[in-house]
Amino acid sequence: MTASLYLHIPFCASLCDYCDFYSVEVPKTDVQFYLEMLCTDIEQQIQQYNINEIPSLYIGGGTPSVLGARRIEWLFKRIHGIFPGYIPEITVEANPESVNEDFLDACLSGGATRLSIGIQTFYEKSRQALNRAGDPHAIMEKLELITRFFPESFSVDLMTGLPFQTEAQLREDINRVCSCSPGHISLYSLTVEPSVPFFHLLPLPDQADALYCFGRDLLEQYSYMQYEVSNFARPGKRCQHNIRYWRMQSWLGAGAAASGTIIDEKKGTGTRRTYNPDIENYFRHDAVEESLDQLTLVQEMLLMGFRYIEGPDEGLFKNRFGINLESYIPETLDSWKHKGMIQPGKNALTPEGLLFLNRFLIQTFEEIENRS
């Protein structure tokens, strides 16, 4: 059986107000114990689901770079010991503050093929509002360092809709990042709850949308083509791991708050295994397992698939559910074709259509519900 592997490293140097990912401030002890429990978990899941092929591994968080060189080296050794087969794509997430030469060297020696670095913005006023550490000059130096170790094989996270952000600031962020030629850039629109302290400083929704479109168009001028709602890549640099999520292909998730889904291709159903966002709980490997019936899997496949610029995998859809996509949601596809928001020759939204993804999905689910 083939499945990708996601590992969650729930440690950060400090916690950001707006973040939804499960993480704790890096503790003085227990990090090594956590990694050992993580590896036991990986080993058990690989055996339980009979995994003999891992097309991609993603070490995310949290901030995996707070592990430092020695621990990431240890982790890679253990992973390759548990699964000696070739893993074509291995991504490690990092933050500029904790990444250094030794860490990058250890990632390369461990087989990492991509590095994903969270910058969000260089603009100090916005960074302060978000409570993000790091000064722009030091961040730029780290970016140049990463360029030496992973030339064109790294991804940078940027954000739009930030407090105090203007088009000029966003242009400056994109220009700086593009001067290092990453292969991949993620551009996220910030969304936070009203309870977040800087909520009143955010641009109005229309201004935030305009900023996002400005950033998207500028990235395309630099030849980063949008291939998902928030992701842009140069040719051959799309993230294969994330594509497997958007296509709903099996993956294992290990670590506190991690979740994995194994699909039974013949039955068109799945099993989801989720860990609580709680390290102590994870030490007991207490996971919740749920079954995904056909309808749930169909809905998830559409929900995820239409985020991707190629749309849901139509061959997989037909094999799993015995019906073509056009026959499953004909009315929605037709009406969006008339609006010019479906790409010619495939069942996928245009970049303009992606801006209205939620509306498209609501209509899709209404069509499914009205039929059943």
Selected range binding ligand SF4 among 17-25, 265-273, 289-297, 363-371, rule: CB under 6 A: 17-25
Binder among 16, 178, 208, 368 for ligand SF4 (CB under 6 A) = 16
Binder among 63, 153, 155, 242 for ligand SF4 (CB under 6 A) = 63
Q: Long-range pairs for 293-296 at CB < 8 Å and ≥24 separation?
A: 293/269, 294/267, 294/268, 294/269, 294/320, 294/321, 295/368, 295/372, 296/270
The answer for residues whose C-beta is within 8 angstroms of residue 169's C-beta and 6 or more apart is 121, 123, 126
Residue 24 or residue 69: which is nearer to ligand SF4 going by CB? Answer: 24
What is the footprint of ligand SF4 within residues 115-144 (CB under 6 A)?
Answer: 118
For position 62 contacting ligand SF4 by CB under 6 A, the verdict is: yes
For position 23 contacting ligand SF4 by CB under 6 A, the verdict is: yes
Residue 132 or residue 176: which is nearer to ligand SF4 going by CB? Answer: 132
For position 365 contacting ligand SF4 by CB under 6 A, the verdict is: no
Residue 124 or residue 290: which is nearer to ligand SF4 going by CB? Answer: 124
For position 4 contacting ligand SF4 by CB under 6 A, the verdict is: no
3-state helix vs strand vs coil in the chain, percent to 5 = 45, 20, 35
Residue 64 or residue 353: which is nearer to ligand SF4 going by CB? Answer: 64
β-sheet bridge partners, residue 289: 273
366 alpha carbon, distance to own chain's centre = 28
Residue with tokens 């194994």: 262
Binding mask 42-61 for ligand SF4 (x = CB under 6 A): -------------------x
Residue 276 or residue 343: which is nearer to ligand SF4 going by CB? Answer: 276
For position 15 contacting ligand SF4 by CB under 6 A, the verdict is: yes
The span from the CA of 183 to the CA of 299, in Å, is 32
Residue 61 or residue 215: which is nearer to ligand SF4 going by CB? Answer: 61
Half-sphere exposure of 335 (CA within 13 A, CB side): 9
| Region for 131 from its dihedrals, namely left if φ exceeds 0, alpha if ψ lies in -120 to 50, beta otherwise | left
The span from the CA of 19 to the CA of 193, in Å, is 11
70 alpha carbon, distance to own chain's centre = 25
What is the footprint of ligand SF4 within residues 213-252 (CB under 6 A)?
Answer: none
Characterize 270-294 residue by residue with b for buried, 16 or more Cβ atoms within 10 angstroms of its Cβ, and e for exposed. bebbebebebeebeeeebeeeebee
Binding mask 66-95 for ligand SF4 (x = CB under 6 A): -----------------------------x
Residue 128 or residue 175: which is nearer to ligand SF4 going by CB? Answer: 128
At its nearest, how many Å lie between ligand SF4 and the CB of residue 35? Answer: 18
The span from the CA of 114 to the CA of 155, in Å, is 7
Q: Residues interacting with ligand SF4, by CB under 6 A?
A: 12, 15-16, 19, 21, 23, 61-63, 95, 118
